[in-house]
């Protein structure tokens, strides 16, 4: 095929693979390519060459230990990825299956168990390549403080502004609580640092970085396939776990669901006291609310004010549920 693919992938990239293309179909950030040798998935990751090397190493390690991730197929030169101006391109076999459902507890429980199995394997992972990314808790504390400072400035800006949108009116009523929650999380994190002295004491594992229902596929053989390790790092297991809970606690019913996710996870990877406290602190910080507010202020998403308002109210409810969840588990006692 001589013409360029979508997603900014030029034809010369595909020429590096000895595969005869019949046609293709775009699924968001993935191109399904039909060939005489079967179907393939062409993906582009906006990460560095070094991160792709790390990803390739981790994917191979997980596959060697029977964890379900797609095999990266080398090109005719033996390279596992092809650099382009806008990212790294790599190829896997197309796996038949369907997406996990957002509001289906059986699927969410399976994701929690799959995450735990990956973390269990990750504790024994010895990287060949150095400089795997992780954020120290000192860095996180400083970042959180910067975001609190930004919130304070933005709050003053809104109070001086005339003709507020509905989103901005509602946000102004929420901001004192959001700032209080964020400040409480920073205080707790500082106490955690004093008690445990150093992030270096935490056990580290393979952290996916973006575990959610769009990055996990339920195959036709009823196996979970974890995809897109573009943001992987070696980190505390609670980093992935906190991100998962933040995303899927949506209402009061999900409080019970979340307890079941933790129970399922800990049946494979029991968390120690240090990790449970850190998990609680991560959940206390209103990460998704602040990110939404910053996206609104910077206009970094092509959303209407109505969409922003709906997301604000959803994430406001989520944050209150997470605070209740943390309080009920008494992890900070």
**Do 206 and 297 belong to one domain?**
yes
Domain match, 113 and 191 both:
yes
User: Is the domain of 81 the same as that of 109?
Assistant: no
- Tell me which of 35-39, 172-176, 187-191, 286-290 is least confident: 35-39
Parent domain of 20: 11-94
* pLDDT reading at 43 higher than 70: yes
- For residues 196 and 190, what is the distance between their CA atoms, to the nearest angstrom? 10
Q: Which helix (H) or strand (E) holds 225?
A: strand 224-226
Model confidence at 4, pLDDT cuts 50, 70, 90, reads low
Over residues 270-309, the pLDDT tens digits come to: 999 999 999 999 999 999 999 999 999 998 888 998 999 9
- Percent of the residues in the chain that have a pLDDT greater than 70, as a whole number: 95
* pLDDT score at 133: 79
User: What CA–CA distance (Å, rounded) separates 168 from 162?
Assistant: 11
**So what's the pLDDT on residue 3?**
55
The beta-carbon contacts of 136-140 under 8 Å, at least 24 apart in sequence, are: 136/199, 137/189, 137/192, 137/193, 137/199, 137/278, 138/193, 138/199, 140/189
| The pLDDT of residue 8 is above 80 | no
pLDDT at 24: 85
Determine the 3-state secondary structure of 117 from DSSP: helix
Specify which of 25-29, 94-98, 248-252, 275-279 reaches the highest per-range mean pLDDT.
275-279
Q: What one-character-per-residue DSSP string does 257-321 give? A: HHHHHHHHHHTTS---HHHHHHHHHHHHS-HHHHHHHHHHHHT-S---HHHHHHHHHHHHHHHHH
How many domains would you assign to the chain? Answer: 2
Contact 52, 88 (CB under 8 A): yes
Helix or strand or coil: residue 88? strand
Are residues 233 and 111 both part of a single domain? yes
Do 19 and 149 lie in one domain? The reply is no
166 and 119 inside one domain: yes
| pLDDT for residue 136 | 86
176 or 35, greater pLDDT: 176
| CATH number for 29 | 3.30.200.20
CA dist 174 → 105, 111, 128, 180, 251 (Å):
30, 32, 47, 10, 18
Residues 6+ positions from 320 with CB-CB distance below 8 Å: none
pLDDT above 80 for 138: yes
User: Positive or negative, the Cα torsion across 154, 156, 162, 167?
Assistant: positive
* Range ranked top by mean pLDDT from 73-82, 113-122, 218-227, 248-257: 113-122
- On the question of pLDDT at 65 being above 90, the answer is yes
Asked if residue 2 is part of any domain, the answer here is no
């Amino acid at each position: 095929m001589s013409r360029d693919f979508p997603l900014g992938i030029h034809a010369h990239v595909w020429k590096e693979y000895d595969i005869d293309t019949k046609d293709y179909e775009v699924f968001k950030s993935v191109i399904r390519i039909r060939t005489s040798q079967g179907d393939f998935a062409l993906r582009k990751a906006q990460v560095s060459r070094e991160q792709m090397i790390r990803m390739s190493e981790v994917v191979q390690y997980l596959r060697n230990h029977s964890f379900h991730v797609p095999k990266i197929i080398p090109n005719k030169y033996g390279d596992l990825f092809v650099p382009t101006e806008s990212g790294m391109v790599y190829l896997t076999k197309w796996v038949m299956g369907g997406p996990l459902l957002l509001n289906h507890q059986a699927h969410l429980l399976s994701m929690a168990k799959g995450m735990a199995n990956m973390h269990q394997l990750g504790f024994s992972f010895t990287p060949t390549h150095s400089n795997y990314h992780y954020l120290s808790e000192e860095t996180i504390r400083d970042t959180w403080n910067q975001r609190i400072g930004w919130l304070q400035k933005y709050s003053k800006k809104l109070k001086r502004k005339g003709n507020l949108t509905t989103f901005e009116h509602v946000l102004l009523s929420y901001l004192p609580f959001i700032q209080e929650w964020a400040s409480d999380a920073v205080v707790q994190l500082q106490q955690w640092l004093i008690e445990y002295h150093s992030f270096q004491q935490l056990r580290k594992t393979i952290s996916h970085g973006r575990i959610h229902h769009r990055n996990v596929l339920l195959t036709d053989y009823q196996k979970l396939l974890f995809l897109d390790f573009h943001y992987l790092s070696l980190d505390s297991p609670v980093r992935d776990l906190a991100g998962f809970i933040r995303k899927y606690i949506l209402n009061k019913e999900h409080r019970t669901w979340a307890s079941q996710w933790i129970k399922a996870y800990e049946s494979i990877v029991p968390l120690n006291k240090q990790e449970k406290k850190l998990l609680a602190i991560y959940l206390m910080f209103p990460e998704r609310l602040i990110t939404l507010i910053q996206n609104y202020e910077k206009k970094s998403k092509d959303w209407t004010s109505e969409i922003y308002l709906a997301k604000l109210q959803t994430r406001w409810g989520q944050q209150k549920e997470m605070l209740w969840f943390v309080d009920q588990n008494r992890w900070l006692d």
